[in-house]
Amino acid sequence: MCGIAGLIHRGKSSNVGEELQHMLQALKHRGPDSTGYALYADNDGQNFILRFKVGENVGEGSTSVNEDESVYNERKKAVDKKLSELGALVVKEEKLTPYSYRYEIKFDKDLMEFSKSIESIQSVEILSIGKSLELIKDLGDATVVSERYGLNKVQGTHGIGHARMATESGVDIKSAHPFWGYPFADVSVVHNGQLTNYWNNRRVLENKGMRFMSECDSELIAVFLAERMRNGATLEEGMKESLTGLDGVFTYFVATKDSLGMAKDTMAAKPLVLYESDDLVAMGSEEIAIRSILPQEIDTYDPFDGEVKVWQT
C-alpha cells in the first residue's frame, strides 16, 4: 500500500520537518515498516550535504544481516580515505546512528564519478547529495525516525516523504524511500504503487551507465528521471515521458532544489489528494495527511489520470 506526502511553501520557509512528520504519521497505517524524508532545508548553499550509510538498521522487522559496529567504523574510514583521494574537503561531519553519517563537503568535480568511487566500498550507499537536500530514511514510523534524526527542527521550503509497507523488496534502509536521483544533486523521489516493467527498464538503464542500489521497483523512477535529465530533458518533460515509459500503477512525487512535482499513472489506480493555495501546496495519499497540518475546512481534490504537475518555491 504505502503512503506518500509532500508540501511546498511558495515564497517563504517553514518548519517542513515537523510538518512532514505530522503528515507521514497520519499515514502510518498505510506503511509501518520504514519512513523516509527528503527535506529541502535552509542551508547556506556553499557546501554539498553528503548523507550516506555504511550498514543497515537491524531493528525489529528488518531483513538485513546484523554486523558488528567495528565493521561500520572500518567502512567509514574507507569513505574518508576516498573523499581525500577525490579532492573533497570535509567541512563538518556528524555521526547520526552507528550506520549513518551526514557530512558537509567542498567539492566541485563530477558527481557521478564521485558517487561511483564512494559506493565502490562494500555496503556503503550514498543516500543523497545536494546543497539543500537532507534525505533521511530508516526503519520505524514517522515520529520514531524524526526523533532519531532530530528532523522536527528542520526549516526549509519543501519536502516529500514516504511511509513504507514493504511488498516488492526487503525491510531495510536501502529499499526505503525516498530515492536520490543519482547522480543529480538535490533530486529525490517517493512512490506509491507497483511498476511492472522494472527489470526491462533496469537492464536498459544499466547499459546506459545508470546505477541501482536496491531491488525496489520504486528506485526505477528516480533513475528513469535522472537518465532523461542527463540527456537534456527538463524535470517536467521527464515526468511526462514516465507516464508511458513506466508500466504499472503509480503516483509519485519528485522534488528538486526549488520545485516539487507529482505524476499519476493513466489508470489513476493510486490515490492522491491535493490542496493548493497561493502560498502552500500540500498533498498526500489520504486527506488526513493534509488535515494533520491544516485542520480548518479547505478545498481539496484528486488529480486526474495521467496528470503531471510541478510547482516552484
Partner 1 sequence: MANLKTAEKKTKAQSMGMHTETLTGKTQQKFFNPDEAENFFYWGTYDVDFNKRTDLDVKDLDCKQANGKIDELMSQGYGTIVIKNPQGKHSLGVGILNKLNLIFEGSLGYFGVGSIDGPIVRVNGRVGWSCAENMMAGKVVIEKNAGSCFGAAIRGGDLICKGSVGARTGIDQKGGTIIIGGDAGAFTGFMMQRGRIVILGDVGINLGDSMYDGTIYVGGKIGSFGSDAVESPMTKDDIDWLKRKLKVAEIGENFDVSKMTKVVAGKKLWNYDALEPTEKKGAI
Q: Which residues are catalytic?
A: 2
The nearest distance, CB 108 to partner 1, in angstroms, is 47
By CB under 8 A, residue 305 contacts partner 1: yes
Report the nearest approach of partner 1 to the CB of residue 104 (Å): 39
Q: Does 2 bind partner 1 (CB under 8 A)?
A: no
Residue 199 binding partner 1, by CB under 8 A? no
Among residues 242, 286, 293, 311, the one that binds partner 1 under rule CB under 8 A: 286
94 binds partner 1 (CB under 8 A): no
Cα 62 vs. chain centroid, distance in angstroms?
Answer: 20
The 3-class secondary structure across the chain, one letter per residue, is: CCEEEEEEECCCCECHHHHHHHHHHHCHHHCCCEEEEEEEECCCCCCEEEEEECCCCCCCCCCCCCCCHHHHHHHHHHHHHHHHHHCCEEEEEEEEECCEEEEEEECCCCHHHHHHHHHCCCCCEEEEEECCEEEEEEECCHHHHHHHHCHHHCCEEEEEEEEECCCCCCCCCCCCCCEECCCCCCCEEEEEEEECCHHHHHHHHHHCCCCCCCCCCCHHHHHHHHHHHHCCCCHHHHHHHHHHHCCEEEEEEEEECCEEEEEECCCCCCCCEEEECCCEEEEECCHHHHHCCCCCCCCCECCCCCCEEEEEC
Please identify which residue in 154, 190, 290, 293 interacts with partner 1, judged by CB under 8 A. 290
- Whole-number minimum distance, CB 7 to partner 1, in Å? 16
Indicate whether 247 belongs to the interface with partner 1 (CB under 8 A). no
CB of 229 to partner 1, least distance (A): 28
Could you say whether residue 288 binds partner 1 (CB under 8 A)? yes
State the Cα–Cα distance between residues 234 and 243, nearest whole angstrom: 15
Q: According to CB under 8 A, which one of 266, 277, 279, 312 is a site residue for partner 1?
A: 266
- Examine residue 30 and tell whether it contacts partner 1 (CB under 8 A): no
269 sits near partner 1 (criterion: CB under 8 A):
yes
One residue of 34, 140, 291, 293 binding partner 1 per CB under 8 A: 291
In whole angstroms, how close is the CB of 163 to partner 1 at the nearest point? 16
Binding range to partner 1, per CB under 8 A, among 15-23, 179-187, 236-244, 293-301: 293-301
301 is a site residue for partner 1 (CB under 8 A): yes
Give me the residues that bind partner 1 (CB under 8 A), please.
Answer: 266-269, 271, 273, 286-288, 290-291, 295, 297, 299-302, 304-306
